[in-house]
Amino acid sequence: MSSRVFVCALVALAVAACTPASPGAGRSTTGGDPSTGGNPGGDPVTPGGDPVTPGGDPTPPPTTVPEYSECLSGSTCAAGLSCSAFEGSRRTYCLKGCLDDSTCAAGERCLLGTCRRLVPPYGVVGAFDDCGPTAMAYATVPVAPLRCVPICDVGDLVGYQAVAVCPPLPTGIVGGEPVCTRGVVPTTTASFCTAEVREGEVCDQASLRCNVAGTRPDTDAAQGATGAGGNDPGALGCLPHQGESRCQRVCAVGTGAQSPCGCAGDPLCSEPADPGVAWSCVSWNEVAGPTTRLYGCIAVEPCAADAVCADDTIAGTTRCATSPYTPYAGSMASVCLKP
């Protein structure tokens, strides 16, 4: 090899050694990775490295399930919750375990190692709810959901407290002033806050009563009320109405005489305000006895199949559908119902 060729070779090697490598070529000396474009600390597994989108993950994170919601095996509950069975149920839910009330969130109570939602006075109690130490979940009629009946005298109840004053009825329930009443729960000497509600209102015959003592006047002079729990025409009763129970007037029993529906000057009853809504004497399959069918006065709004129903606060109706009731007299093919 000539001296000229040898010198040129040395120069070429020196130039190659001094020229920077192109981006992504070879392994970086700063701790990066060739698959991450040389980002320091980058890795396709650890957060911050991705071969497609640097610093991000193209797939969304798994959806978290909130508290008290049903979860499946492998589902991800929100932070602090576990997917576990509830009181012997075969289904599993996102629940928060607890040792005392301090470990639960505001508005919750620790009961049997699980945080439960606290329900206000006279409120409906669900599976994951609790009434707290000053109320008891109770209802005296099978068609009514359990409600939190405030305790005004503890009596022989253990682990409960009494309220100083009976709380008022919640907004949306019209009735008389709640009073402290004994004998609501027959198995205890405790007293509970009860109120007599207006006709058409929700009732349970425990905290929200519908003439339980038979003291309100019967509207039918020919049919005398039988007193508490009586199902004679003209008397009031806590009867089913579209999945709940309401204070309604019995208008007929079986094929007997029909008692007229209406308020007849009753201060705890009001006629439907919306046009087209009126009291009707109808029956329900769920309260039909083995041989005798019971009929009650319900505020309903007859409508055509394509009509848009008014939102009535008494009837609680918003859409037109086939009537679930059996009219005592006349034809009622469709009425306005809850959605």
Cβ partners under 8 Å of residue 27, min gap 6: 33, 34
What integer pLDDT is reported at residue 60 of this predicted model?
A: 52
Whole-angstrom Cα distance, residue 323 to residue 225? 29
2 backbone φψ class: left, alpha, beta (φ>0; ψ -120 to 50): beta
| DSSP tag of 223 | S
What integer pLDDT is reported at residue 9 of this predicted model?
A: 43
| DSSP tag of 5 | H
What integer pLDDT is reported at residue 193 of this predicted model?
A: 97
- SS3 for 32? coil
Q: What is the pTM of this model?
A: 0.67
Residue found under tokens 């069975």: 85
- Give me the residues paired with residue 31 across strands: none
- SS3 for 33? coil
What integer pLDDT is reported at residue 129 of this predicted model?
A: 95
Cβ partners under 8 Å of residue 93, min gap 6: 68, 69, 70, 71, 83, 84, 85, 86, 128
Q: What angle do CA 236, 241, 246 make, to 5 degrees?
A: 40
- Give me the residues paired with residue 136 across strands: 149
- Phi and psi at residue 7, to the nearest 5°: -65, -45
What integer pLDDT is reported at residue 106 of this predicted model?
A: 92
| DSSP tag of 120 | P
What integer pLDDT is reported at residue 21 of this predicted model?
A: 41
Q: What is the pLDDT along the chain (339 residues), one digit of tens a residue?
A: 444 444 334 334 344 444 444 333 333 333 333 333 333 343 333 344 444 445 555 555 556 888 999 988 667 888 889 898 888 788 899 999 999 999 999 999 999 899 999 999 999 999 899 999 999 999 998 888 999 999 999 999 999 999 999 999 999 898 899 999 999 999 999 999 999 998 888 999 999 998 766 666 667 766 655 554 456 787 888 887 767 788 888 888 877 778 888 776 677 777 777 667 778 888 865 555 556 778 888 777 777 544 556 666 656 666 676 666 777 655 555 777 665
